[in-house]
C-alpha cells in the first residue's frame, strides 16, 4: 500500500438538462464495457467500418471520410479548421455566440485572416451580412457557421449560406456539435463540405468523440495544401488511412475503443428509433419546454423562428440569483442546467433536452422544479402554469402528428 | 425504424499482450459506467482534483499541472511539442524507433528545426551522441527522448540525458507512453521538465487519455512564447485554467468524464498495490517472459541491459510467417501480440505484459502458445523449454524478493 489516499468515486445520479453531456441509455453504458480489443484488431476494423456507416446515416451523407475524431467536439472543431486553413487564407466566420468565437480563435491560430460577421448573441447572422463579407474579399477559402449555437440557443438556416459559399468559391464548414441527431442536419442536400459534431449531446454517447464528415471537394483541397497541417494527430489525410473503408487500416494512433463501441450503440439507437422520429421527438419536447417557460412569464432569449429545439435559452428574471437557482436544482433535484457564457454570463439559463434526456418526464420535471424554486426565491408565478402549458403543447403536437 | 442495418457489437474476449491496450481490471470497467455528470459539475471537480493527485503520485512529481489530456497518448505527444516549440526553435531528438520518429514529425510541423540523433532501432541513443548534438548548436530549446520505445522494446537511461539538457540550457521532454506505471519513472528526481503517457498501457485504463505533467520551468517558458500555440485545444496555459487545482475551473472543452473515472480507478489500483511492488511485478514477469523466449532459442531484439520489462521484442525466426503466427494466436488463443513497425516490419514480434495483463498466467500461456504454434510451423523447439525457463526465473525472482 502506498501512502496516497484517494476518493471513492461515487458520482451522484444527475438528470442532465444542460447543453450536454446528456444522459446515457443503458444500452450505450453496456456497450462501453464490452470486452476491449486492440485498436488494430480485425474485429475492431469491422466496428470502425460499421460506425462510419452509421455516422453517414446520421449526417445524411455519402462522404466516405465520415468517422469520429478521437477527442471531444472541440477537437472536431480544431481538426476541421487546421486542415482546411493555411497561413494567409481568408476565412469568413459568422459569429453570434461563444462557439463561433472559438472558431475564430482556432482559425487565427492557424495563421488565417479572419473576417468576422458578427450578430447579437441570440440572433442569427443574416445571410445579407455574410454575402457582403464574401463579396468584399478577393478570395475566401472558407465560410464557417455554427449550427446550433449552444451558448445562445440559436439555430440558423444553412441552405442560403451554403449557396453563397458555392457562389463565391468558398468551402462551407458547419459546427453541428449541439445539433446533430436532434435537429435536422442534411450534409449532402445542404451542400456542406465539412461538418463536425460531439458525441455527448443529441447523440447521447459519453463525451470524448467528435464525429466528422468531409467531402471530396474538401479532401481535394487538402491534397493541394502548400504548408503541411501543423497537427499530425489531426491530419485528415493521415486519419483517412487509419479509418480507411473496407481495406487495410494503417496505424496512426490508438482510437478510444470503448468510446467507439458506445458511439456505435448510441447511433444504432437513433437508427432503431428512426432519424426523423428522433428529430420529431426533440422538436415536440423542445416546443413544450419553451411553451412552459413562456407560460411562467419568462422570456426566451433566442430570436423567434430560429430557436433550437434541443436547447432553450431563457432570460433570468431580475432579482433572481443565477447560481443560487442552479445550485438548488442540483442539490434538491439533481438536475443540471447551465448558465450563460461570456457576454451572456448571469443573463440566461440554458436548458437542454438532448438525446436520451429528451423525454416528457424531463420537460415536466424541470418546469415544475423551476417554478417551485423561482416562487421560493420571490419570483411571482401562477402554480402549474408552466407544466399546464407544456401539457397543452404536447397534446397539440401529438394531434398534429396523428393527423399528418 | 430506419432502413440502415448495423452490427451487433459483440467483441471477442482478447488476452491483450501487445504494446497496449492492455486488459482492464473489473474495478476500472465498473468505474467507467459510474453515473455521468457534467464536465463542470462540482462533483466532477473533486474527481478532477483527485485524479491530478493520483497522477502526481504515479509520475513521482510535485508539479501542479499534472492531468490527463483529453486524447490518446499521441495527443499527449503533440500537445507537449506544440506548446514547447515555436517556429525556428531548435530541438534535439533522440531517434531509435517509430515513436521518436513521430516526435520528429510533430516537431517539424511546429516549424522547429530538428536535430536528429539516430540510433539503430533496438539500441539506445548514446549520451555521447546526444552531447555532441547539443554542443554543435548555438541554442537548443528542447531535448526529447522516448522512454520505453515500444516499437523496439528499448528502455534508455534518462538521468545522464537530463543532466546534459540542463548543462546546455534545454528543456527535457520524455515520452513515457509505454513505460509509466510499469517501469521506473521519476519525473522530479530525474529532472524531467515535461512528460506524457497513455492511459491504456501499463496504467491499464481504456484508451483515450494522455496523462501529462509540466513543471514550472516549462510553464515559465510557455508564458514567454512569441507565437501563440497553433492549437487552442492543447494550449497548456488554457488547459491549466480548466484543470486548476482546488479552485474555480474555467470551461475549455468537455472532458471525457467516463474515461477520467476509469483512469482515476486504474491509478487507484496501482496505489493500492503500491507503485514499487507494481513495477516489481512488471519486472518479474518481464524477466520470466524474456528468459522463456531465449530458452526457446529465440533472439531478443533490444540491446542487452536496456530492455523494457513491460514489452519484449523478439526476432521472428527465419522461415516463420509473421502474420500467420499472429493470426493463429488470435484465432486459437484469442491472444493479441504485435509485429514490428516501419524498419522492423516482419522482423520482430512485440509481446507486452502491461498493467492488468502482467500476470504469471499470461507469461506461461503466451510461451506455451508460441511454442506450440512455432513447432507446428516447423521451427524446432524443445517441448516445455520456454515455460520451464520462465518458471525458473519466477522462482528465482521470488527468492530474491524474499531475501531482500
The reply to whether residue A35 touches residue B13, judged by beta carbons under 8 angstroms, is yes
In this predicted model, what pLDDT tens digit does every residue of A276-297 receive, in sequence order? 999 999 999 999 999 999 999 9
Determine the pLDDT at residue A115: 98
Asked if pLDDT for residue A328 goes beyond 80, the answer is yes
Sheet (strand B311-315) strand order: B311-315, B348-352, B338-339
**Number of other CB atoms surrounding residue A290 within 10 Å:** 25
In this predicted model, what pLDDT tens digit does every residue of A50-98 receive, in sequence order? 999 999 999 999 999 999 999 999 999 999 999 999 999 999 999 999 9
The reply to whether residue B231 touches residue A231, judged by beta carbons under 8 angstroms, is yes
Determine the pLDDT at residue A396: 81
Mutate: best of B20, B50, B71, partner A, most A CBs <10 A = B71
Question: Which fold would CATH assign to domain A274-403?
Answer: 3.90.1150
Asked if pLDDT for residue A248 goes beyond 90, the answer is no
- Which bin fits B2, alpha (ψ -120 to 50), beta or left (φ > 0)? beta
Q: Are A263 and A210 in contact (CB under 8 A)?
A: no
The reply to whether residue A105 touches residue B233, judged by beta carbons under 8 angstroms, is no
- For residue B290, what are the contacts with CB-CB under 8 A and spacing of at least 6? B300, B307, B312
Determine the pLDDT at residue B404: 42
Q: Name every chain A residue with its beta carbon within 8 A of the beta carbon of B23.
A: 36
| CA B340 to each of CA B98, B315, B348, B350: distance values in angstroms, whole numbers, following the listed order | 10, 9, 5, 7
Q: How far apart are CA A1 and CA A273, in angstroms?
A: 49
* φ, ψ of residue A95 in degrees (nearest 5): -125, 110
Rg of chain B over CA atoms, in angstroms? 22
Q: How far apart are CA B197 and CA B203, in angstroms?
A: 9
Q: How far apart are CA B257 and CA B280, in angstroms?
A: 31
User: What is the CA B339 to chain-centroid distance, rounded?
Assistant: 17
* Cα angle for residues A24, A30, A31 (degrees, 5° grid): 95
Tell me the CATH number for domain B275-403.
Answer: 3.90.1150.10
Burial class (CB in 10 A: 0-12, 13-18, 19+), A246: exposed
Q: How far apart are CA B53 and CA B356, in angstroms?
A: 22
- Band (pLDDT 50/70/90 cuts) for residue A247 is low
Asked if pLDDT for residue A29 goes beyond 70, the answer is yes
Determine the pLDDT at residue B115: 98
Smallest Cα–Cα separation from A147: which of A183, A194, A120, A118? A183
Assigned architecture for domain B26-271: 3-Layer(aba) Sandwich (3.40)
User: What 3 state SS string does A309-371 have?
Assistant: CCEEEEECCCCCCHHHHHHHHHHHHCEECEECCHHHCCCEEEEECCHHHCCHHHHHHHHHHHH
pLDDT mean values, one per 10 residues, chain B (404 residues) = 86 98 98 96 96 98 98 98 98 98 98 98 98 97 97 98 98 98 98 98 98 98 96 96 81 96 98 97 98 98 98 98 97 98 95 98 98 97 97 81 49
Smallest Cα–Cα separation from B76: which of B238, B234, B204, B218? B234
Interface A–B counts its CB contacts (< 8 A) at: 260
- DSSP label at residue B342: G
The reply to whether residue A75 touches residue B47, judged by beta carbons under 8 angstroms, is no
Question: In chain B, what are the domain boundaries?
Answer: 26-271, 275-403
Q: Which residue has the cell 514567454?
A: B224
In this predicted model, what pLDDT tens digit does every residue of A100-144 receive, in sequence order? 999 999 999 999 999 999 999 999 999 999 999 999 999 999 999
ipTM value: 0.96
Determine the pLDDT at residue B249: 82
Cis before B258 (ω within 30): no
Asked if pLDDT for residue A404 goes beyond 60, the answer is no
Smallest Cα–Cα separation from A246: which of A12, A87, A52? A52
Q: Which three cell numbers stand for residue A387?
A: 407544466
Nearest CA-CA distance, residue A221 and chain B, Å: 19
Q: Which residue has the cell 503466451?
A: B366
Mutate: best of B233, B279, B351, partner A, most A CBs <10 A = B233
Q: Which residues pair with B51 in a beta bridge?
A: none
- For residue B140, what are the contacts with CB-CB under 8 A and spacing of at least 6? B90, B91, B92, B115, B134, B168, B169, B170
Please compute the mean of the pLDDT values over residues A181-201 and round it to a whole number. 98
Mutate: best of B13, B49, B248, B256, partner A, most A CBs <10 A = B256
Say what angle helices A257-273 and A42-59 make with each other, to 10 degrees.
40
Amino acid at each position: 500500500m502506498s501512502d496516497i489516499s484517494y476518493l471513492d468515486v461515487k458520482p451522484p445520479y444527475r438528470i442532465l438538462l444542460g447543453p450536454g453531456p446528456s444522459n446515457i441509455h443503458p444500452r450505450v453504458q453496456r456497450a462501453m464495457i464490452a470486452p476491449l480489443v486492440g485498436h488494430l484488431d480485425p474485429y475492431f476494423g469491422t466496428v470502425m467500418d460499421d460506425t462510419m456507416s452509421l455516422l453517414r446515416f446520421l449526417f445524411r451523407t455519402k462522404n466516405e471520410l465520415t468517422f469520429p475524431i478521437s477527442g471531444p467536439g472541440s477537437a472536431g472543431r480544431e481538426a476541421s479548421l487546421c486542415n482546411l486553413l493555411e497561413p494567409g487564407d481568408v476565412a469568413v466566420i459568422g459569429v453570434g455566440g461563444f462557439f463561433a468565437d472559438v472558431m475564430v480563435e482556432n482559425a487565427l491560430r492557424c495563421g488565417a485572416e479572419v473576417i468576422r460577421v458578427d450578430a447579437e448573441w441570440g440572433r442569427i447572422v443574416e445571410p445579407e451580412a455574410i454575402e457582403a463579407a464574401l463579396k468584399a474579399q478577393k478570395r475566401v477559402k472558407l465560410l464557417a457557421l455554427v449550427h446550433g449555437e449552444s451558448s445562445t440557443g440559436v439555430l440558423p438556416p444553412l441552405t442560403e449560406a451554403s449557396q453563397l459559399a458555392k457562389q463565391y468559391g468558398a468551402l462551407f464548414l458547419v459546427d453541428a456539435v449541439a445539433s446533430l441527431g436532434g435537429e435536422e442536419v442534411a450534409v449532402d442536400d445542404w451542400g456542406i463540405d465539412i461538418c463536425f459534431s460531439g458525441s455527448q449531446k443529441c447523440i447521447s454517447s459519453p463525451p470524448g468523440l467528435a464525429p466528422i464528415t468531409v467531402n471530396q471537394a474538401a479532401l481535394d483541397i487538402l491534397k493541394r495544401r502548400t504548408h503541411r497541417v501543423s497537427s499530425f494527430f489531426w491530419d485528415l489525410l493521415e486519419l483517412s488511412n487509419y479509418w480507411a473503408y473496407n481495406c487495410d487500416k494503417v496505424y496512426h494512433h490508438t482510437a478510444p475503443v470503448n468510446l467507439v463501441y458506445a458511439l456505435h450503440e448510441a447511433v444504432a439507437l437513433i437508427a432503431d428509433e428512426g432519424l426523423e422520429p428522433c428529430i420529431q421527438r426533440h422538436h415536440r419536447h423542445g416546443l413544450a419546454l419553451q411553451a412552459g417557460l413562456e407560460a411562467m412569464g419568462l422570456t426566451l432569449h433566442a430570436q423567434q423562428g430560429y430557436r433550437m429545439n434541443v436547447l432553450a435559452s431563457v432570460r433570468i428574471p431580475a432579482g433572481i440569483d443565477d447560481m443560487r437557482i442552479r445550485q438548488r436544482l442540483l442539490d434538491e433535484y439533481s438536475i443540471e442546467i447551465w448558465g450563460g457564457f461570456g457576454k451572456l454570463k448571469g443573463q440566461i439559463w440554458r436548458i437542454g433536452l438532448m438525446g436520451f434526456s429528451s423525454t416528457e418526464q424531463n420537460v415536466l420535471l424541470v418546469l415544475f422544479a423551476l417554478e417551485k424554486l423561482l416562487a421560493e426565491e420571490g419570483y411571482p408565478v401562477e402554480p402549474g402554469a408552466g407544466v399546464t402549458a407544456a401539457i397543452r403543447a404536447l397534446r397539440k403536437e401529438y394531434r398534429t402528428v396523428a393527423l399528418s
